[in-house]
Structure 1
């Protein structure tokens, strides 16, 4: 009989989504590779969007204490730079 791996073993891990405030005080949600993101009036709306876009994986959402600007060109800073200071997992 052929053994099968559980579906979770075959699926890629969801990407990280960073949320935080930009220099104007607006909330930003941005996928680590710049595939999706947006500006929001509240943290709750940024979280709602991030959860919807990442398939409801709260463990992959990271709230930053430093400012983050929405990257519309797909050039989000490397993950190492974002984690150097002030990161706080949300989950």
Structure 2
């Protein structure tokens, strides 16, 4: 996992700044850097992606799309690809 521990951002240039910490900061960092491609728990493993996304939606007010994708292999099934749809301006990232 990246060593991002805090992200401060704005949803628009005039709006208030928001700060997220811990795993929410890590997930936001991953979403911002993934762009339109988005992120999946398969590509960027973490224990509770769906919860981080829930918190970013509810507590930070971010629009994040979940795209269902199928995958094969020994444990075939489906997973979500998370795509950040809110225009986010990152002001500061703190790292360990």
**What TM-score, normalized to structure 1?**
0.26
Q: Does 1 or 2 have the higher relative contact order (CA < 8 Å, sep 6+)?
A: 2
**What TM-score, normalized to structure 2?**
0.26
